[in-house]
Amino acid sequence: MTTSSAPEPVPVPIRVLLPGDQEVVAHLWSRRQAGDGWRYEVGLPAYRNGPGDSVEPAEYRVWVRAPQHVRPVDGVSYDAVPTEYLEPPSPVKKALGPSRPSGWVLAKTGGRGPGRAGVVHTVDCAEAPAGTPVLPLDQALGAAEQPGVRLCSLCGAAQVL
Instruction: Verify that 80 and 43 share a domain, yes or no.
Output: yes
Q: Choose one of 84, 118, 144: the last residue of a domain.
A: 84
Instruction: Verify that 17 and 54 share a domain, yes or no.
Output: yes
Average pLDDT over residues 140-146: 85
Q: What confidence score (pLDDT) does residue 92 get?
A: 61
Residue 6 has pLDDT above 80, yes or no: no
Of 71, 92, 65, 83, give the one whose Cα is nearest residue 15: 71
Q: Cα 146 from chain centroid?
A: 42
Residue 4 has pLDDT above 80, yes or no: no
Lowest-confidence pick of 3-12, 80-89, 90-99, 124-133: 90-99
Lowest-confidence pick of 13-17, 24-28, 133-137: 133-137
Q: What angle do CA 114, 120, 124 make, to 5 degrees?
A: 150
Sort residue 109 into left (φ over 0), alpha (ψ -120 to 50) or beta.
alpha
Give the whole-number percent of the chain exceeding pLDDT 90. Answer: 39
Instruction: Verify that 79 and 108 share a domain, yes or no.
Output: no
Average pLDDT over residues 20-43: 92
Instruction: Verify that 56 and 120 share a domain, yes or no.
Output: no
Domain that holds residue 116: 104-160
- pLDDT tens string 53-108: 999 999 999 999 988 899 999 999 999 999 999 887 666 655 555 666 778 888 88
**Residue type for position 40:** Y
